[in-house]
Amino acid sequence: MTRVRRWLPGLLLVSPSIIAIAVFVYGMLGWNFKVALSDQHDEISPGSFVGLENFTGIWSEDRWGLSVRHAIVFTVVFVLGALMLGWLLAFLMERGIRGEGGFRAVYLFPMAVSFIATGVVWRWLLNSGTGERAVGLNGLLGYLGLDFLQWGWFRDPDWGMAAMAVPAIWQMSGYIMALFLAGFRGVPEELRESARVDGCTEWQVYRHIVLPFLRPVTLAALIILGHISLKVFDLIVAVSGKQIITDVPAIFMWTAVFDSHDPAKGATIAAYIVLSVCVFVVPYLIWNARRGDRT
């Protein structure tokens, strides 16, 4: 009884949040799946259970295949791009450099601004005109004599989504830099020193001492970038709106709800987004919880 009295107040204090999370996270996710498994294709009908019909049926739509392809291209370019640029910036700074605070402030500031705001200017910069009609980044490339690099950016029918990743990389690589910088600084200097004394080259020191220390950071960065990427929405709305050429599942879902008024389809797309995120977030959370137990 005394033990219960010891922990009960704590449970009571957290219980509003437990209820809120249970209802709004887990309850709503469940409800969304229920809608996705029904034939509620308009806003009035109650809808009845139809199994996985929506989940399989959607693959026969051209638009869905396109939006999945776009999401994959975007994810690959964005995740690798932000990871590499973030790593490079941290690598250039890790030994300490004059004005480090200033550099960090510049690389990180895009994180503090919304994509809706920066999208206004990115839409201009990524203008698709080339040659005589080149403006924005293409125009700048023209000034610099790099005309051969001009292309249609996000209007390119095949690789446009790779261009869409440019503003995303611009926004997130400072964050990744900060993570890697913390990782670099977590390597004890004595370890590096003793390896050098043992005759290791700088490359060997990096490969065998520093790199293993960066592994957890890299994993965390991958998870963060990946889950942001799969649900990307604001950026696309801001840069190109609802155009099919840059359609992704989150935009498709938005139009399914507001333009086609089809809850079942919207819920199906949402369910796919959730599942794609779960595939790598759930193992990460389990791994993280286990790691927490050990320390």
Per CB under 8 A, contacts with other proteins among 189-208 are none
* Residue 165 interacting with other proteins (CB under 8 A): no
How many residues touch other proteins (CB under 8 A)? 98
C-beta neighbour count of 182 within 10 angstroms: 11
Residue 1 vs residues 5, 6, 10: alpha-carbon distances, Å: 6, 9, 15
Nearer to other proteins, 158 or 255 (CB): 255
Coil vs helix vs strand at 42: coil
For residue 44, the 8-state DSSP code is S
| Member of 52, 84, 116, 149 binding other proteins (CB under 8 A) | 116
Distance (Å, rounded) from C-alpha 206 to C-alpha 187? 10
CA dihedral 86, 87, 89, 93 (to 10 degrees): 140
Question: Cα angle vertex 31, ends 30, 35, to 5°?
Answer: 120
| Member of 1, 112, 131, 259 binding other proteins (CB under 8 A) | 112
* Residue 1 interacting with other proteins (CB under 8 A): no
Residues 259-288 that bind other proteins (CB under 8 A): 263, 266-267, 269-271, 273-274, 277, 281-282, 285-286, 288
Residues 7-46 that bind other proteins (CB under 8 A): 7-11, 13-14, 16-18, 20-21, 24-29, 31-32, 35
Binding-site string for other proteins from residue 40 to residue 79, where x marks contact by CB under 8 A and - marks none: ----------------------------------------
Nearer to other proteins, 200 or 220 (CB): 220
C-beta neighbour count of 192 within 10 angstroms: 16
* Residue 87 interacting with other proteins (CB under 8 A): no
CB 20 to other proteins: min, Å? 5
Nearer to other proteins, 200 or 237 (CB): 237
| Member of 127, 130, 150, 246 binding other proteins (CB under 8 A) | 127
| Member of 92, 149, 211, 279 binding other proteins (CB under 8 A) | 92
| Member of 156, 216, 244, 245 binding other proteins (CB under 8 A) | 216
* Residue 121 interacting with other proteins (CB under 8 A): yes
* Residue 93 interacting with other proteins (CB under 8 A): yes
| Member of 117, 146, 149, 211 binding other proteins (CB under 8 A) | 117
Burial class (CB in 10 A: 0-12, 13-18, 19+), 274: middle
> CB–CB of 225/14 below 8 Å?
no
Nearer to other proteins, 160 or 249 (CB): 249
Nearer to other proteins, 158 or 223 (CB): 223
- Kindly state the tokens that stand for 46: 């109650």
